[in-house]
């Protein structure tokens, strides 16, 4: 595999951390976009100690703050000519309705909107690198329907799980739209479900959600196991370009819901995302 420049979000914990470690072992140059720089620097030391790969760089990026995302993208554009792999992995579920710094519903902001702005801001580098873009989605998308796009801010009817399900549906829509819109420049894009993985995921939940997470822990796979589809899509030397736009599980294409295959809904998401990030796209 030729030398690859790879950007990973959410690498400071769980699936993202195992993805970063494995890709460092495969000699990728890694740019870790983190909201907590101390955690990022600690991870960088761990990666260098474990892999001897010294091409590891930490950049501050809070995906729930569009200005921070734009600054991270600008920093990358100042340092790099091309990006070969972008792993949009950061995300999670929130205990209650909260707003991002920009006033967007937090789950939508941190799982989708921040990644939309990051990806679109990095597009010139991604095109030069004929990049693979990987969106970490979830089987939770099965609980979302496209009509939730009528109210991405959850002005009405918020629940933690509904907001998370919509955000993970958006990850699938976004991958499919990227695959379609940028195929001619050699870009491929994928969404994936990592499995039910024992990570920090859900640690913010209280009440019944917390109890359910604790009960499920013994049946969960490890973060290393949960990172395998990420590692496959990011690290495999050759992938059939016909698989671009697909949803993966356990390293193989899988069928998402019918709702996830709704073309007008994903075009609508694109429009909504452009509108909400318009002030930052230049």
Catalytically active residues, by annotation? 158
Q: Compute how many other C-beta atoms are within 10 angstroms of the C-beta atom of residue 109.
A: 29
**What's the rounded Cα separation, in Å, for the pair 243 and 2?**
21
Task: Give me the least distance between CB of 270 and ligand NAP, in Å please.
Answer: 20
| Minimum CB distance to ligand NAP smaller for 82 or for 196 | 196
Instruction: Judge whether 28 and 236 are in contact, CB under 8 Å.
Output: no
256 touches ligand NAP by CB under 6 A: no
15 touches ligand NAP by CB under 6 A: yes
**Binding test (CB under 6 A) with ligand NAP, winner from 183, 196, 243, 281:** 196
**Interface region with ligand NAP, contact rule CB under 6 A, candidates 11-19, 51-59, 149-157, 268-276:** 11-19
For residue 105, what are its two tokens?
Answer: 């519903």
- Residues making up the chain, counted from first to last: 282
* Opening angle at CA 62, ends 57 and 63, nearest 5: 110
**Interface region with ligand NAP, contact rule CB under 6 A, candidates 14-22, 182-190, 234-242, 258-266:** 14-22
Q: How many residues bind ligand NAP (CB under 6 A)?
A: 29
Strand partners, 249: 193, 252
222, HSE (Cβ side, Cα atoms, 13 Å): 4
**Binding test (CB under 6 A) with ligand NAP, winner from 12, 177, 229, 246:** 12
Strand order in the sheet with 29-34: 56-60, 29-34, 5-9, 85-88, 132-136, 188-193, 247-249, 252-254
**Binding test (CB under 6 A) with ligand NAP, winner from 199, 228, 262, 277:** 199
| Selection from 105, 104, 136, 130 nearest residue 278 by Cα | 104
200 touches ligand NAP by CB under 6 A: yes
**Binding test (CB under 6 A) with ligand NAP, winner from 7, 23, 64, 125:** 64
Within positions 213 to 252, which residues make up the interface with ligand NAP, using CB under 6 A?
Answer: none
| Minimum CB distance to ligand NAP smaller for 62 or for 105 | 62
Q: What residues line the site for ligand NAP (CB under 6 A)? A: 9-10, 12-16, 35-36, 39, 61-64, 89-92, 110-111, 136, 138, 193-194, 196-197, 199-201
């Amino acid at each position: 595999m030729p030398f690859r420049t790879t950007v990973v979000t959410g690498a400071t914990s769980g699936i993202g951390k195992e993805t970063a470690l494995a890709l460092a072992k495969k000699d990728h140059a890694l740019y870790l976009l983190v909201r907590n720089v101390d955690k990022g620097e600690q991870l960088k030391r761990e990666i260098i100690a474990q892999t001897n790969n010294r091409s590891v760089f930490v950049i501050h990026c809070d995906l729930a703050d569009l200005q921070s995302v734009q600054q991270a993208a600008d920093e990358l554009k100042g340092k790099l000519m091309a990006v070969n792999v972008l792993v949009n992995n950061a995300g999670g579920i929130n205990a209650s309705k909260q707003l991002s710094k920009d006033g967007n519903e937090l789950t939508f902001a941190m799982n989708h909107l921040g990644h939309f702005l990051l990806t679109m801001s990095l597009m010139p580098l991604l095109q030069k690198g004929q990049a693979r873009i990987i969106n970490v989605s979830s089987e939770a998308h099965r609980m979302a329907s496209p009509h939730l796009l009528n109210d991405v801010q959850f002005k009405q009817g918020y629940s933690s799980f509904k907001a998370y399900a919509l955000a993970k549906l958006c990850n699938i829509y976004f991958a499919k739209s990227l695959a379609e819109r940028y195929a001619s420049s050699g870009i491929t894009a994928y969404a994936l479900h990592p499995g039910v993985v024992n990570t920090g995921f859900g640690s913010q939940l209280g009440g019944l959600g917390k109890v359910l997470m604790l009960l499920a822990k013994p049946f969960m796979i490890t973060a290393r196991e949960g990172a395998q589809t990420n590692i496959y899509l990011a690290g495999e030397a050759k992938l059939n370009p016909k698989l671009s736009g697909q949803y993966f599980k356990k390293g193989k294409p899988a069928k998402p819901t019918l709702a996830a295959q709704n073309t007008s809904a994903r075009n609508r998401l694109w429009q909504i995302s452009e509108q909400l990030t318009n002030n930052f796209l230049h």
